[in-house]
């Protein structure tokens, strides 16, 4: 491997991060792409996509002596990573490992070997090795102490620069030439890139303005790569609210409730929107809700507004004389219901609430809501579908395209929010790097 050129790392990293942060804020950048290193190495790898999967693979490969260039169609690096940081950057989760792996549902057997090799604690160690302290929240979720993505990304870019990783930004990948070289649309027109190996880490199709628009599906389908259709995941759902519900309660949280569908449920929170419902508890049930709506046209969500109180106890308290109190005031005092909870009960009945205490208590414990549709994929947190498992080998190389590897959300898996998405993106990026190293 040739010796690195003597250049100012701090100046180059500062320029690249400025592009990243300014581009994220403004949605554009007029600056030319920054090359983080001008040095060459014996074997070349083209990484397409600058999300977590692509960047961790670039780090591993550069550390192993490869000449790595990361290409991205956006004018800045890691835009969706920065977007995730706006909510605190939930890195991973500390629940028991078998439970953690189980969150990936049908994809768990495929992902487990990769997660075994890069476990949640390995991700935490990697973050702290970059100099970012982490902490565990009360729910078991792990965050950087700064609660932001930009400090972590800044240090990550410095490490990548030190390893000689180069960046070619504002390059949209459009496929291959007949000879097998990569085609990109760049600022000056079409660019042709050759490499010894290629890693595609282009994400799914959620939040396309951050760089992931799913256009790669057409390119790979034409090459005979088996794909599952991309679908929204971790998204909100539509409910045909009354005008009162939309106008008075949009934005109101539903706290400390139990949400269930199709025999599966969890305690958590959600938020009423003008269109319907969204939030952590809804996202956790989104896969089954989505599939039910696709098959039947609608899905029924049940909400227990008082999971910490037995139905019999609620009925007993609702049997007390109401006096001159309004029904809403009485329900709040007797059963501890919030205004939004009472509104949900009224929405579910489409009319007056039951007058009999036992019937009213049953409703408190199981409010039925009819969900009529899922929010569009471009508003989803993540996507399901993508490159099927049978399309890749153990090193995540496409069987139909030797020398081309895939990682991250391009693969056909989905997981709830809570650190599972990022962890799997990192783990698949690490596995793809190992596959390229052994190619």
Domain boundaries, the chain: 9-231+378-437, 237-375
Q: Are 395 and 432 in contact (CB under 8 A)?
A: yes
Work out the average pLDDT over 306-311: 97
Would you tell me the crossing angle of helices 52-63 and 420-437 to the nearest 10 degrees? 30
pLDDT 10s digits, 382-392: 999 999 999 99
Confidence at residue 359, expressed as pLDDT on a 0 to 100 scale: 97
The C-alpha angle 429, 158, 156, rounded to 5 degrees, equals 35
What is 69-137 written as a DSSP string? Answer: EEEESSSSS-HHHHHHHTTT---EE-S-HHHHHHTTGGGHHHHHHHHHHS-HHHHHHHHHHTT--EEE-
Q: Residue 120 contacts by C-beta under 8 Å, 6 or more apart in sequence?
A: 92, 93, 94, 97, 100, 142, 419, 423
Under CATH, what is the fold of the domain 9-231+378-437?
FAD/NAD(P)-binding domain (3.50.50)
Task: Please state the pTM of the whole predicted model.
Answer: 0.86
pLDDT digits (tens, 9 = 90+) for 63-99: 999 999 999 999 999 988 988 777 789 999 999 999 9
Q: Given this model, what pLDDT does residue 42 score?
A: 55
Token pair in block for residue 167? 């960046």
CATH architecture of 237-375: Beta Barrel (2.40)
Query: Tell me, what's the pLDDT at 28?
Result: 35
Q: What is the pLDDT of residues 226-248, one digit of tens each?
A: 999 999 999 999 999 999 999 99
Instruction: For residue 289, give both structure tokens.
Output: 């809700």
Rounded CA Rg of the chain? 25
Q: At what angle do helices 327-335 and 311-318 cross, to 10 degrees?
A: 130
Residue 112's contacts (CB-CB under 8 Å, 6 or more residues apart) are 101
């Amino acid at each position: 491997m040739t010796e690195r050129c003597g250049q100012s790392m701090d100046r180059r990293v500062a320029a690249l991060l400025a592009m990243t942060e300014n581009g994220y804020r403004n949605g554009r950048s007029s600056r030319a792409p920054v090359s983080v290193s001008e040095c060459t190495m014996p074997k070349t790898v083209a990484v397409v996509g600058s999300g977590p999967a692509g960047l961790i693979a670039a780090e591993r490969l550069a550390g192993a002596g490869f000449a790595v260039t990361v290409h991205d169609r956006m004018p800045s690096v890691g835009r969706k990573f920065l977007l995730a940081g706006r909510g605190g950057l939930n890195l991973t989760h500390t629940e028991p490992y078998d439970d953690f792996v189980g969150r990936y549902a049908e994809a768990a057997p495929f992902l487990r070997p990769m997660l075994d090799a890069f476990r949640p604690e390995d991700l935490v160690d990697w973050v702290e090795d970059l100099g970012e302290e982490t902490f565990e929240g009360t729910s078991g979720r792990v965050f950087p102490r700064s609660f932001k993505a930009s400090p972590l990304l800044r240090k990550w870019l410095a490490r990548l620069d030190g390893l000689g990783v180069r960046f070619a930004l504002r390059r949209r990948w459009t496929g291959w030439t007949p000879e097998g070289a990569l085609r990109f649309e760049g600022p000056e027109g079409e660019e042709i890139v050759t490499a010894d190996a290629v890693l595609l880490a282009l994400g799914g199709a959620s939040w396309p303005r951050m760089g992931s628009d799913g256009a790669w599906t057409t390119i790979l389908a034409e090459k005979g790569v088996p794909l599952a259709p991309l679908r929204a995941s971790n998204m909100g759902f539509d409910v045909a609210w009354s005008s009162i519900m939309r106008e008075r309660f949009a934005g109101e949280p539903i706290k400390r409730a139990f949400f269930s569908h199709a025999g599966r449920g969890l305690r958590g929170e959600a938020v009423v929107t003008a269109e319907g419902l969204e939030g952590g508890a809804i996202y956790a049930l989104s896969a089954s809700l989505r599939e039910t709506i696709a098959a039947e046209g609608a899905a029924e969500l049940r909400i227990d507004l008082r999971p910490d109180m037995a139905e019999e106890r609620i009925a007993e308290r609702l049997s007390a004389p109401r006096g001159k109190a309004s029904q809403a005031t009485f329900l709040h005092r007797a059963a501890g219901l919030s205004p939004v909870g009472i509104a949900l009960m009224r929405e579910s009945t489409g009319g007056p609430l039951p007058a009999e205490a036992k019937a009213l208590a049953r409703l408190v414990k199981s409010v039925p809501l009819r969900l009529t549709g899922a929010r569009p994929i471009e508003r989803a947190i993540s996507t399901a579908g993508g490159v099927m498992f049978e399309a890749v080998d153990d090193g995540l190389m496409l069987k139909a395209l030797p020398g081309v590897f895939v990682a991250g959300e391009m693969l056909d898996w989905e997981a709830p929010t809570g650190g599972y998405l990022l962890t799997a993106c990192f783990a698949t990026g690490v596995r793809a790097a190992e596959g390229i190293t052994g190619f």
